[in-house]
């Protein structure tokens, strides 16, 4: 169960004397929305609106909606701050979830036995227990390293789909990473960014699994194929998202210039969310360059009918980066 931090949220709304509040919740938390609105409105004078658009990360702060609704405050659940100076006060609530650390440690220990040093990583929902996890693993004689919080991941051990600096910063010291969390999205990024294997301890279903570099061969083949096709392509569409933490307009202009200097045709296509229906109607570009969330290009969007590159992969096409400097080494940064 998420820690909704209702007391803190109510206290902040009162302290700031906010009359109107915009509540942003990731999809997984939306079943709690009415409960939250009701609790906030009963405890404060504020009127609460729900943002109905995407809330994929802290990159996705609903500033435009907030301005249109003329709210005094955004309450954003599920992420840590990413946008440096949002033009609107924002309260971030981590939406922490407690893990049974003793049980998790017992279950994962056999999978760690062949490694000397492990790097502990997790998402914001579990970072409040990183110290406890480290301590309990050390009690079992496991040598644990935790990367210091930095940049887009301010909490120790925290990783994001687009930033693995806490893992990268300790990669020379560890043999394997232990990722606490659900799904393959984040641990796949760890392997792409460090080249090291990852043991996944899923606290939601109790399953322990492993992602190794072999598992990533499919991803690597797809990425290399996209770069290879792009080298010979003539027409490029450079996608720019207006989402505050995904907007890379200046980089898009730089890539456009580089592509044009190589005799390619490149046009910037500006939008909020990158959706297949909208993009596919631009049928002329053979290659799409995605300057928004890098995972859109790597993991793909259903229905996109052409190869799509990340910024870094486009720089490989331009010759300003090498593929070797990316794969297993800062792929997303």
Residues forming contacts to ligand SF4 in the complex (CB under 6 A) are 56-57, 59, 160-162, 245-246, 293, 295
Q: Tokens 């200097």 correspond to what residue?
A: 261
Task: Say if CB 310 and CB 297 are below 8 A apart.
Answer: yes
Between 57 and 203, whose beta carbon lies closer to ligand SF4? 57
Task: Say if CB 293 and CB 79 are below 8 A apart.
Answer: no
CB of 127 to ligand SF4, least distance (A): 15
Q: Tokens 């933490």 correspond to what residue?
A: 245
Of 164, 162, 161, nearest to 150 by C-alpha is 164
CB of 51 to ligand SF4, least distance (A): 15
Exposure letters 56-79 (e unless 16+ CB within 10 A, then b): bbbbbbbbebbeeeebbbbbbbbb
CB of 297 to ligand SF4, least distance (A): 11
CB of 169 to ligand SF4, least distance (A): 18
How far apart are alpha carbons 129 and 55 in whole angstroms? 24
How far apart are alpha carbons 201 and 182 in whole angstroms? 8
CB of 59 to ligand SF4, least distance (A): 3
Between 71 and 293, whose beta carbon lies closer to ligand SF4? 293
Task: Say if CB 109 and CB 97 are below 8 A apart.
Answer: no
Between 78 and 119, whose beta carbon lies closer to ligand SF4? 78
Terminal Cα distance for the chain, rounded: 32
State the residue number with the nearest CB to ligand SF4. 57
Between 57 and 285, whose beta carbon lies closer to ligand SF4? 57
What DSSP letter does each residue of 66-99 carry, written as one string?
HHHHT-SEEEEES----SSS-SS-EEEE---B--
CB of 56 to ligand SF4, least distance (A): 4
Upper half-sphere CA count for residue 213 (Cβ side, 13 Å): 9
Q: 75 CB contacts (<8 Å, ≥6 apart)?
A: 9, 12, 13, 21, 22, 23, 24, 90, 91, 93
Between 119 and 161, whose beta carbon lies closer to ligand SF4? 161
Between 56 and 92, whose beta carbon lies closer to ligand SF4? 56
What is the torsional sign of CA 191, 194, 198, 200?
negative
CB of 295 to ligand SF4, least distance (A): 5
* Orientation angle between helical segments 249-261 and 311-318, nearest 10 degrees: 20
How far apart are alpha carbons 162 and 272 in whole angstroms? 18
How far apart are alpha carbons 53 and 309 in whole angstroms? 25
Between 58 and 75, whose beta carbon lies closer to ligand SF4? 58
CB of 153 to ligand SF4, least distance (A): 10
Between 230 and 298, whose beta carbon lies closer to ligand SF4? 298
Between 99 and 162, whose beta carbon lies closer to ligand SF4? 162
CB of 43 to ligand SF4, least distance (A): 30
């Amino acid at each position: 169960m998420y820690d909704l931090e209702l007391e803190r949220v109510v206290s902040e709304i009162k302290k700031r004397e906010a009359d109107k509040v915009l509540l942003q919740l990731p999809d997984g938390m939306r079943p709690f929305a009415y409960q939250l609105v009701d609790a906030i409105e009963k405890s404060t004078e504020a009127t609460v609106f729900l943002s109905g658009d995407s809330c994929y990360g802290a990159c996705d702060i609903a500033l435009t909606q907030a301005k249109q609704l003329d709210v005094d405050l955004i309450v954003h659940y599920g992420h840590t701050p990413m946008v440096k100076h949002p033009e609107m006060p924002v309260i971030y609530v981590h939406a922490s979830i407690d893990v049974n650390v003793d049980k998790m440690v017992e279950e994962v220990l056999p999978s760690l036995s062949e490694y000397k040093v492990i790097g502990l990583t997790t998402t914001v929902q579990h970072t409040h227990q990183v110290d406890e996890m480290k301590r309990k693993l050390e009690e079992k004689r496991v040598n644990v390293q935790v990367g210091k919080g930095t940049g887009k991941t301010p909490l120790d051990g925290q990783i994001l789909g687009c930033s693995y600096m806490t893992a990268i910063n300790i990669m020379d010291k560890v043999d394997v990473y232990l990722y606490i969390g659900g799904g393959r999205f984040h641990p796949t990024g760890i392997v792409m960014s460090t080249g090291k294997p990852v043991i996944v301890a899923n606290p939601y279903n109790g399953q322990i699994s492993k992602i190794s570099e072999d598992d990533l061969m499919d991803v690597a083949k797809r990425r290399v194929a996209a770069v290879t096709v792009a080298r010979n392509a003539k027409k490029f569409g450079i996608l720019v998202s207006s989402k505050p933490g995904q907007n890379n307009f200046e980089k898009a202009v730089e890539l456009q210039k580089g592509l044009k200097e190589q005799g390619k045709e490149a046009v910037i296509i500006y939008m909020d969310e990158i959706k297949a229906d909208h993009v596919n109607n631009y049928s002329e570009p053979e290659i799409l360059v995605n300057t928004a969330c890098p995972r859109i290009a790597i993991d793909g969007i259903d229905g996109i009918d052409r190869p799509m590159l990340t910024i870094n992969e486009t720089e490989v096409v331009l010759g300003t980066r090498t593929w070797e400097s990316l794969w297993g080494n800062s792929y997303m940064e």
